[in-house]
Chain A
Amino acid sequence: MSKKQLTPPLSDADVENLQIGDQVFITGTIYTARDAAHKRLVELLEEGKELPIDVKGQVIYYVGPTPAMPGQIIGSAGPTTSYRMDPYSPRLLAEGLKCMIGKGTRSKEVKDAIKEQKGVYLAAVGGAAALIAKSIKKAEIVAYPDLGAEAIRKLEVQDFPAIVVNDCHGGDLYEEGVRKYKK
């Protein structure tokens, strides 16, 4: 387990450098999207239309924050459970998406796509929503404002904390970690 800095957009080499268990700190631009936004993005791709955001080399964070209080940049913003995005993620990875941040296990299809397309899946600490919000310095809705908490937001983050769960080498920390501590 080592500590690494990540600055999107990410290259193949950036992703290849990551191993399961690495603690990463992201600084720069990331995007938010949950199931409703994913559904729309993939529908656009299937219709051959352009996406409202360019996903090449980018990071998508699965989050639906609480409303910002007066003076706040964003409300509490912890990760949501990732499997709900599984039906859509391989398509976005094929489009050049490099990194996904959420919590919980991914499907075999997503893990295979992570290997083939050289991507990475990170876990943020579920429920550490007030703490994670501290690393978000700017937030702006860039697509689907009608989705409210589920709209696509562009976030500027500084030292956003996450842990590598599925690397492009086929590693899976959920499996490895459990194996290590099972009695």
Chain B
Amino acid sequence: MRSINYDKIVMEMAKLCRDANYFLGDDVKNAYDRALAEEESPTGKEIIEQIKENTEIARTEEVPMCQDTGVAVVFLEMGQDVTVEGGGLYDAINEGVAEGYTSGYLRKSMVEHPFRRKNTGDNTPAIIHTKVVSGDKLKITVAPKGAGSENMSSINMMAPAAGEEGAKEFIIDAVRKAGPNPCPPIVVGVGIGGNFEKAALLAKESLLRPVGQPSKDEEIAKMEHEILDKIKRLGIGPQGLGGTSTALAVHIEVYPCHIASLPVAVNINCHATRHKSIVL
């Protein structure tokens, strides 16, 4: 059994939080360039230029690209032959989040209760999803998620008869209803199948894919392409002020489901689709 030190996890987690908020991935930057080339609206082009400039300021000055540095959504892939030495894994993750959000001058956006709404002061607790996998490594991914886009997400437990067309319609409608609120150009994460919570989790996980990388399932990849094309025709555009670059990509993940179910979840991400990983 291989072991990883608690303090090492805290340190790496803190760095991931800072890096994810300062340094946007090349996958997203390349998607901006594609959007800029395609955008038909002059205002839309100007907005994409501003977003690109913002990304550069954040990178060179090491400051948060967006003031909403989000909820720390953490995905763990824990090898079954690895153990943590010196403390609990989730404690290490939360300590790392607190350390990263404090030392990195990131905004603390978590409140301790949905109604009483007192800020926890260090952006904990993180929302942690864990998978146990084979091997002796620990992969940590953080995807800081702002509320502007998260609040525009939705789920629909559809009748199987709705089929692919029904699912497409629901996804496009979610983007139409969201309009300018989730900071377009957006990335549309979709989970289809599983059950109520599995579909939502699939939608969130799909956002971890490099932006614009199609599904490995050819039929699903075709569906992603078709939906993206229809979303571009909605006219919402950058920041919702009209234009063709409403979304940078549509990512769909699917899973087996019950004979009577067709769950479809849409999790929208803003143009700052942040995710950083490390393998320990």
A, B from the same assembly: yes
Task: Say yes or no for B69: interface residue by CB 8 A criterion.
Answer: yes
Once the chains bind, are B66 and A127 in contact (CB under 8 Å)?
yes
Does B89 sit at the interface, judged by CB under 8 A? no
Pairwise interchain contact A178-B237, C-beta atoms closer than 8 A: yes
Q: Mark A50-65, 1 if CB is under 8 A from B, else 0.
A: 0000000000000111
Contact between B50 and A131, CB atoms less than 8 A apart: yes
> Are A182 and B233 touching (Cβ within 8 A)?
yes
List the A side residues contacting B43 at CB < 8 Å.
Answer: 1, 21, 163, 177
Q: Which residues of A contact B240 (CB under 8 A)?
A: 104-105, 174, 177-178
Assess the B64–A129 pair: CB atoms within 8 A: yes
Report the interface size class on chain B: 35 or more
A49 within 8 A of B: no
Chain A interface size band reads 35 or more
Of A8-16, A78-86, A109-117, the one touching chain B = A78-86
Contacts of B105 in A (CB 8 A): 66-69, 75
Asked if B137 is an interface residue, CB under 8 A from chain A, the answer is no
List which B224-273 residues lie within 8 A (CB) of chain A.
Answer: 233-237, 239-244, 270-272
CB distance from A135 to the nearest CB of B (A): 12
Residues of B within 8 A of A66 (CB): 63-64, 67, 69, 105-107
Contacts of A128 in B (CB 8 A): 50-51, 53-54
A67 to B65, CA, bound (A): 13
- Binary contact track B43-68/A, C-beta < 8 Å → 1, others 0: 10011001101100110010111111
Contact between B181 and A104, CB atoms less than 8 A apart: yes
| Contact mask for chain A residues 150-183; partner B; CB cutoff 8 A; 1 contact, 0 none | 0000000000010101000000011011111111
B154 on interface, CB distance cutoff 8 Å: no
Alpha-carbon distance A86/B236, docked complex (angstroms): 21
